[in-house]
Amino acid sequence: MKKPKIVFVGAGSVVFTQGLLADLLAYPELDAVRVALHDIDPERLEVAEAAAHQIATARGARPEITATLDRRAALDGADFVINMIQVGGHDATVTDFDIPARYGLRQTIADTIGVGGVFRALRTFPVLDALAADMAAVCPDAVLLNYTNPMAMNVWYLAGKVRNVVGLCHSVYWTMRGLADLVAVPYEEITYLAAGVNHQAWVLRFERDGENLYDRLDTAIARDPELRRRVRVEMYRRLGSYPTETSEHSAEYLPWLMRHDAEIDRLRIPVGAYVRISADNVHEYERTRQAVRDDAELAIAGTDEYAPQIIHSMVTGTPRVVYGNVVNDGLIANLPAGCVVEVPCAVDSSGVRPTRVGALPPQLAGLNRAYVNVNELVVRAAVEGRPDHVRHALMVDPNTSATLSLEAIWRLCDDLVRAHGALLPEPLRATLAD
């Protein structure tokens, strides 16, 4: 491959951009790559560009760095596109929490399924359409590495529009890091297999040299009553496999927890957590902006994210296994064909190749299918121009349907349609409850 060109779309997500660049430029083979930064916010783009130059200097790398508000110009000739946009920013996130809360609907992160995930997807799809059109025009063979949530809905929506797309999330990796700590076994010594859907995949195998490490996990849980106050531990005890996403995420994908005060207290569920996280992200950006203006040194830290690893493997041929979100083409036998699943993927110079996992245990597939039902209806709503399917998605969403009446669901959708307005696909801006 020629000197690869890597495009960051949504580069104004400065902290995330910094971490990915720190990883990329740590590889000697990638020290002279072409990096194109794009964002629609001029100030954030300027901060990202300054940070990128500082990271390159700290790494002793010699990348060619450009920054532009013109997305198509940034994409021209790209080999890899990293997408990390957040349409509507912090204000839209607050709206996704505040309006449902008026109806008594509790959320924790609101970026995957549920009311927040559905409307985040609907705000994102029009921008994905434009991104896909630009890629088709100027870099049709580029690999799109998507970090934007809701991961499964976005990759499903993009699958027919972009030739090569893989969704990336760090949940499997950090779950296994955490489990290794819980059982007191070095991460480098464990082997594992996980599969399912993004933010609700399952650890199907957890071993060291043939030893089933789940036995050690059971001992740790039995010893520590505080561990039993985690949603994901509760799911493991009831379902038999450990989920690969944090408790605060996992809680809002289930019908049994968020409407019960006692369960929120028992399992220490942080209602509204992402509003605080989002505000912290804004403050972190402001600190970075001030550091750049003061010509102060930035903290340079890697992330262990998959995108830099994939790029390095494809450029150098170094074989790796990562976890990716891809279209289910027989990869998980008892989840619907065409949905987006999270499975191990082999990577080398030939690209990203998903692994066929077979069938999940039926209780796990049953929960995943509830999640997939929401995904499908949201994607269909956008593709077919069906505002009723937005309501149908929330009628089958586990947390929403367990909390609200049908009439409340439809009125809540109307309130969010009015609030998000022109950010939504034009055919989905209709209110239906009146």
Q: What is the CATH number of the domain that holds 131?
A: 3.40.50.720
Report if residue 175 sits inside a domain.
Answer: no
Q: Are 243 and 237 in contact (CB under 8 A)?
A: no
Residue 179: inside a domain, yes or no? no
Active-site residue (options: 53, 170, 312, 392): 170
Report if pTM > 0.85. Answer: yes
Q: Considering the domain boundaries, does residue 10 fall inside one? A: yes
- Indicate the burial class of 421 (C-beta count within 10 angstroms; 0-12, 13-18, 19 or more): exposed
**What single string gives the DSSP state of each residue in 3-44?**
S-EEEEETTT-HHHHHHHHHHHTTSGGGTT-EEEEE-S-HHH
To the nearest whole number, what is the mean pLDDT of the chain? 97
CA 341/CA 360 separation, integer angstroms: 12
Q: Quick one: pLDDT at residue 94?
A: 97
CA-CA distance, 26 to 18, in Å (whole number)? 12
Q: CA dist 202 to 48, 129, 175, 245, Å?
A: 36, 31, 10, 9
- Looking at the chain, the whole-number percentage of residues with pLDDT higher than 70 is 100
At 171, is the secondary structure helix, strand, or coil?
Answer: helix
Q: 84 and 154 in contact (C-beta within 8 Å)?
A: no
Q: What is the dihedral of CA 196, 197, 203, 205, to 10 degrees?
A: 30
Which among 182, 175, 15, 178 is positioned nearest to 84, based on CA atoms? Answer: 15
| β-strands 143-146, 34-38 pairing | unpaired
Range of the domain at 42: 5-96+112-169
Give backbone dihedrals phi and psi of 220, rounded to 5 degrees, phi first: -65, -40
Domain presence at residue 218:
no
What span, in angstroms and rounded, lies between the C-alpha atoms of 371 and 253? 7
Helix or strand (DSSP H, E) at 47: helix 42-59
Q: Does 307 map to a domain?
A: no
Give residue-wise pLDDT tens across range 318-375. 999 999 999 999 999 999 999 999 999 999 999 999 999 999 999 999 999 999 999 9
Q: Which residues contact 290 (CB under 8 A, 6 or more apart)?
A: 296
3-state secondary structure (DSSP) of residue 140: coil
Degrees (nearest 5) of the Cα angle 374, 98, 101? Answer: 70
Q: Which residue has the tokens 């586990």?
A: 398
With cut-offs at 50, 70 and 90, classify the pLDDT of residue 433.
confident
Q: From the annotation, which residues make up the binding site?
A: 149, 169, 199
312 is catalytic: no
Q: Do 161 and 128 form a contact (C-beta atoms < 8 A)?
A: yes
Q: Could you write out the three-class secondary structure of 299-360? A: CCCCCCCHHHHHHHHHHHCCCEEEEEEEECCCCECCCCCCCEEEEEEEEECCEEEECCCECC
- Read off the pLDDT of residues 395-418 as tens digits, 9 standing for 90 and up: 999 999 999 999 999 999 999 999
Read off the tokens for 337: 């064909």
- Band (pLDDT 50/70/90 cuts) for residue 300 is confident
| 101 in a structural domain | no
Residue 317 has a pLDDT of: 97
Asked if 82 contacts 20 with a C-beta cutoff of 8 angstroms, the reply is: yes
Is residue 36 domain-resident? Answer: yes
Domain count, the chain: 1
Binding site residue list for substrate: 149
Instruction: Enumerate the known binding-site residues for Mn(2+).
Output: 169, 199
Contacts of 83 (CB under 8 A, 6+ apart): 9, 10, 131, 144, 145, 146, 147, 148
The count of other CB atoms within 10 Å of the CB of residue 266 is 14
Judge whether 242 lies within some domain: no
Q: Is-contact 268 250, C-beta < 8 A? A: no
Query: If phi over 0 gives left and psi between -120 and 50 gives alpha, with beta otherwise, what is residue 209?
Result: left
* % of the chain beyond a pLDDT of 90: 96
Distance of CA 236 to the CA centre of its chain: 22
pLDDT by residue (tens digit) across 212-271?
999 999 999 999 999 999 999 999 999 999 999 999 999 999 999 999 999 999 999 999
